[in-house]
Chains A and B, each alone.
Chain A
Amino acid sequence: DQQVKQNSPSLSVQEGRISILNCDYTNSMFDYFLWYKKYPAEGPTFLISISSIKDKNEDGRFTVFLNKSAKHLSLHIVPSQPGDSAVYFCAASANSGGSNYKLTFGKGTLLTVNP
């Protein structure tokens, strides 16, 4: 059961344009969401997070939007740069009992930014 879904395996954009990566979740207990970026043969690098009490969080070129009613979040990268080319993972966790607080990852979206 895939609780965090990234339905686009890949996305290609031109340098300077906006990249929008999408993520859907099914577990209504999730209240903390993160985006990670991963280059081949390296560990994921934390990018940005958002708590369910917010609907937007911004950090430089990266903005994450959360729509709780739709159980949807998105990562916007503006402007996109060739160095942003990587796999982007959406992850979520829940503040509840048991092991729900563990981070659940989506399958990732490969972003390619073309010069």
Chain B
Amino acid sequence: DTEVTQTPKHLVMGMTNKKSLKCEQHMGHRAMYWYKQKAKKPPELMFVYSYEKLSINESVPSRFSPECPNSSLLNLHLHALQPEDSALYLCASSQVIREKLFFGSGTQLSVL
């Protein structure tokens, strides 16, 4: 199994909603990542978890809250988002930090 699975694939939410993005991998990887990608831009790193501990937070606003319940799962909790937060949210994993990343297919988020 070399997949990173993300759900949902698409999400539309209002600015007052609370929603969560989910990511799962069963490759035994100990590093997991959240990236945000706007159209025609490169992926931008948001958070890195290493051995289930938050390792990097790239000054992301608190309306994005990551959670790593165990070594296979990574969540991104969303609350009070702005329309400019609309983007493709990508989860990735790697054996450990600095190894090549395996990406999920992303959640296309639209904030109305």
Contact = CB atoms under 8 A, between A and B. Distances in A.
Interface of A: 32, 34, 36, 41-46, 49, 89, 93, 95, 99, 101-103, 105-108
Given A36-B103, A41-B108, 13 more contacts: A41-B88, A41-B105, A43-B92, A43-B103, A43-B106, A44-B43, A44-B90, A46-B102, A89-B42, A99-B56, A101-B98, A102-B56, A103-B101
B45 A103 contact: yes
A42 B105 contact: yes
A68 B109 CA distance: 39
B62 to A, nearest CB: 19
Main secondary structure of the interface of A (DSSP, over half): loop
B5 to A, nearest CB: 11
Contacts of A49: 100
Closest 9 CB pairs of A and B: A43-B103, A105-B42, A101-B98, A43-B105, A44-B103, A46-B100, A42-B105, A43-B104, A43-B90
Contacts, number: 48
Nearest to A95: B98
A99 B59 CA distance: 12
A4 B49 CA distance: 24
Contacts of B91: 43
Contacts of A42: 105-106
Given A102-B48, A107-B41, A108-B42, A45 B103 contact: yes
Interface string B2-33: 00101000000000000000000000000000
A32 B48 CA distance: 18
